[in-house]
Each structure stands twice: as structure tokens, then as C-alpha cells.
Amino acid sequence: MSVTAIVLAALSAGPGWSPPVDGPVVAAFRYDEARPFAAGGRRGVDLRAPSGSPVRAACSGRVTHAGAVPRWAAGVSVRCGPLTATHLGVRGLLVRRGARVRRGQRLGVAGPAGRVRLGARVTARRWGWVDPLRLLGGAPPQGAPLGPAPPSERRVRPLRRGAPALRAPAPAAAPARAPAVAWAGALLLAAGLPVGGVVRARRTRRRRSEAVPVAR
């Protein structure tokens, strides 16, 4: 019997399912029975549910599990004819395994994650998960996906008014030029002339010129 036939049989056997919470769908069903462990798969739909809001049974049946669930703290599974409904992200459980529940009966409250996942599986098939929205008489509206914004959407905080603006670094100072006397001395040394002798000759001529009397 195909999955579609089982779902149609479940719908015709009794009243349709109802959403376990009043919030919109924030993550859609994404699953392939041929690849049950494919990356990015989701065996149900996630609905927004504020922490502490009531979680109700999606269908009428017998509780097959009520307790801890990895990654979801706790959950409740209810066998409703050929299908089994799973409610994940529930706290403060009000039912136990083996109890019979009616559609709309409170199972507990939503946890701090802010969402509850509703799943629907063909009981006779281990990996026979189906889209639970096909079973809901009035499917909940679609909401914005939950989760942090991607890094590409983060904004840079603007500069506060009155804060000093960044300045470009000042250019490096040009090296100081050597005095003309130093360059002249370097040229004389390169020519092989004694620097000290030239200076003494200039001083001697200056003294002789000062000793000559000026004509009146």
C-alpha cells in the first residue's frame, strides 16, 4: 500500500488533524524516504510557539511515547490509526505512555526554543514520514523563518556624532641636506687637496689685507 493511499485512508477514517499550536509554520517539511539521513532533511514542520504556550494533540489516539527526545528535550507520540503523530519541543508533560488522548487535548507547554515540530509517520514503515500539512484541515499560515540573521546582513555601526575622524598618517620628513661646507670639504678630499691648508691660507691673506693702511 502506497504512502498516499495510507494518508487518504487516514483522512477518510475520521476527522482531520489540527495544529498543535496557534503559531505559523516557520520551517517546511523536507524529507525523502529513499534518503532518510540526507543533510538538511526535516521530518516534520516547525511551528512558532512562544515558551509556555499550550501544546495540544494533533489527533486522537493512544500515547506511545511521552518523555525525553534527543535535541528536543521532550516530546509526545500519539498513534492515530495508521499514522503516528509526533510533537517535539514540549515541556511539563501532562500525559503518560498508554493514555488515550483526544484531538485538541493539552499535552504540555512549549519549551524555550520558541518552536514545536509536528511530524506524521506511517506507523507500519520505520522511515515513512509524510508532510503533516496534508493532514491538517486548516493549515497554519506561513511565517518568517526563525534563527539569527546571516553574517552578510549584519550592519556596521555608524560613527558617533562628535567622535574624532580618522586621519591619514603624516608623510615621512625628507632627509636634511648636508651644509655647503661639508660638500666642499668632501670635494677637496676627493681631489687630494688638504682642507686644513686651504683654510690657513685664507686666514693669512685676510690678516695682511687688514695690516695695509688705507689711503686718505
State the SS3 of 148-173.
CCCHHHCCCCCCCCCCCCCCCCCCCC
Where among 145, 170, 202 does a domain terminate? 145
Domain edge (last residue) among 91, 120, 145: 145
Residues 96 and 201 in one domain: no
Q: What is residue 158's predicted lDDT score, i.e. its pLDDT?
A: 40
Examine the fold and report which residue of 101, 129, 145 is the final residue of a domain before the chain moves on: 145
189 and 95 within one domain: no
Residue 216 inside a domain? The answer is no
- 158 in any annotated domain: no
* Pair 28, 118 in one domain: yes
User: What's the confidence (pLDDT) of residue 190?
Assistant: 44
Question: Is 169 inside any structural domain?
Answer: no
Identify the pLDDT of residue 35. 86
Position 31 scores a pLDDT of: 84
In a domain, 88, yes or no: yes
What pLDDT sits at residue 206?
59
Q: Are residues 28 and 97 in the same domain?
A: yes
User: Per residue in 139-170, pLDDT tens?
Assistant: 676 776 665 333 332 333 444 445 454 454 45
Indicate whether 163 belongs to any domain. no
Q: Examine the domain organization and report whether 141 and 185 are in the same domain.
A: no
Cβ(65)–Cβ(97) under 8 Å? yes
- Regarding whether 41 and 121 lie in a shared domain, the answer is yes
Q: Alpha-carbon distance 48 to 138, whole Å?
A: 16
pLDDT at 33: 83
Query: Does some domain include residue 150?
Result: no
Q: Is the same domain home to 28 and 93?
A: yes
Q: Examine the domain organization and report whether 107 and 185 are in the same domain.
A: no
3-state class (DSSP) for residue 133: helix
What pLDDT sits at residue 84? 96
CATH of the domain at 124: 2.70.70.10
Q: Which stretches of the chain score pLDDT less than 70?
A: 1-15, 137-139, 141, 144-216
* pLDDT for the residue numbered 32: 83
Do 73 and 141 have their domain in common?
yes
- Domain enclosing residue 197, as ranges: 180-211
User: Based on the structure, what is the number of domains in the chain?
Assistant: 2
Specify the residue for cell string 499550550.
Answer: 54
Instruction: Tell me the C-alpha distance between 13 and 91, whole Å.
Output: 31
Q: Is the pTM of this model over 0.75?
A: no
Mark whether 32 and 97 lie in a shared domain.
yes
